[in-house]
Structure 1
Amino acid sequence: MNTSISKTINTILKTTTKSLFVMLAMAASFNVTAANADETLKTVQKQWAKCQYDTFNKENKISCLNSLIAMNQEELDSDPSRDDLKVWLAINKSTLAGAEGGLGALSLVKEAKGLLEEVISSDSQVLEGSAYTSLGSLYYQVPGWPIGFGDDDEAELMLQKALAINPNGIDPNFFYGDFLANNGDTAQAIAFLKKAQKAAPREGRELADQGRQREIERKLKELE
């Protein structure tokens, strides 16, 4: 083989091999980053379930949620593009508002509303439309004007959008059923609550599923 051709081939092979190693290293780095991101989300979700369903004293629940919000905020500050963590920061703030109660909780739900609106503008499909579910639940649970931003029409719109994305999910069906019950549509409320009751278990979210199923059962007993 011609020496110059041989050198050219060797150079190409070395360059290709080097590029392949770089690509493999980048892929490995991406996989590690993705795995870390997934673990962060799971940690936030599991800790929320612990605060909500496994912490019964009011002061302890508030303390648990405050610690979780601080951790959630820190993780989001390190990567502001994480729409999934924005959804969960909104959920955590809303849950804290419910635990604290009173007019002071309004600032928390307003912050939650802003976060959820940001996510919907950025990626409404994230976490199977959970931003719509959470925002819808706020709209029907928060007082209306002049105290808060509550609005049943907006609540129904948001919850129906959530169901369009995740029609069999436990949360969108539960909250839509609860919304319908609050508005006197008992038959439809029962239908959606029973659908929520049959939702598939969520991997790694056993405590959250158990807690939600208890809420569904209590609501059905009130209606049937």
Structure 2
Amino acid sequence: MKPALLALAAMVAPLMVASAAHADACDDRVRALQQSWDHVNFEVPEAVRTAEMARLNTQADAVVAQCPNRAEPLVWDAIITASEAGLRGGIGALGLVRDARSELERAERINPRALNGAVYVSLGSLYAQVPGAPLGFGNRQRARDYLQRGLAMAPNDIDANFFMGDLLVREHDWDGAARYLQRAIDAPARPGRAVADRGRKAEARTLLARAQQRH
């Protein structure tokens, strides 16, 4: 190898190692956010859940700042922000859900396939649950479109099936809701997500019982 190329390789190699280490650190931070959200959302008592979710939201903002141009921190920041909005409720929560939507749209521009389609599943759940105009941006057709994109990427995903089932319950499509909710209940376990899987499947069983009673 020519001396100039050797010199260039010597400069590039440390940068590649540093870049890989940074990526690994970001992945670790995202996993920590995920596990913390699982705990707060499904295990923390309701009396302190809002405060704990707000604290976690601050941590998620910091991870986004530490890992620029990465979609995964933005997705989890959006999920946590939307969760805080759901816990707070009322008009004051609308600013939070708009922030969550903006974060998901940013994540989509970076990598729409991040986290197995979670960008689209999260956008779908937002459009399904947020009030419509003039107060909010809720829109069930857009919710369906986003959820279908998520399901196309991960047809067996527990969250994609749960939120499609939830949307169909809201639309009183009891048969359709039952199919998706049963798929959520039957979804394969996710590594490291036992707490979330258990909590989500419990929610799916509750909604499924409601759909079967209305059938």
The alignment's TM-score, normalised by the length of structure 1, stands at 0.87
1:51 maps onto 2:40 in alignment: yes
Task: Select which of 47, 50, 53 maps to 1:62.
Answer: 50
Looking at structure 1, the residues matched to 32 and 45 of structure 2 have their Cα atoms a distance apart, in angstroms, of 20
Secondary structure of the residue that 1:104 maps to in structure 2?
Answer: helix
Aligned residues: 212
Task: Select which of 164, 167, 175 maps to 2:163.
Answer: 175
Counterpart of 2:26 in structure 1 is: 37
Q: Which sections of structure 1, spanning at least 5 residues, go unmatched?
A: 1-11
Q: Quick one: which amino acid aligns to residue 98 of structure 1? A: G
Deviation at 1:176, TM superposition (A): 0.3
In 2, are the aligned partners of 1:136 and 1:155 still within 8 Å (CA)?
yes
Looking at structure 1, the residues matched to 32 and 44 of structure 2 have their Cα atoms a distance apart, in angstroms, of 16
Deviation at 1:86, TM superposition (A): 0.7
Deviation at 1:18, TM superposition (A): 7.4
**1:136-175 alignment, distance < 5 Å:** 136-175=124-163
% identical aligned pairs: 33
Looking at structure 2, the residues matched to 30 and 160 of structure 1 have their Cα atoms a distance apart, in angstroms, of 35
Secondary structure of the residue that 1:148 maps to in structure 2?
Answer: coil
1:82 maps onto 2:67 in alignment: no
Q: Quick one: which amino acid aligns to residue 55 of structure 1? A: V
In 2, are the aligned partners of 1:42 and 1:204 still within 8 Å (CA)?
no
Deviation at 1:26, TM superposition (A): 4.7
Between structure 1 and structure 2, the one with the greater Rg is 1
**34-43 vs 174-183, which moves further:** 34-43
Deviation at 1:17, TM superposition (A): 7.7
Looking at structure 1, the residues matched to 137 and 11 of structure 2 have their Cα atoms a distance apart, in angstroms, of 52
State the superposition RMSD in angstroms: 1.9
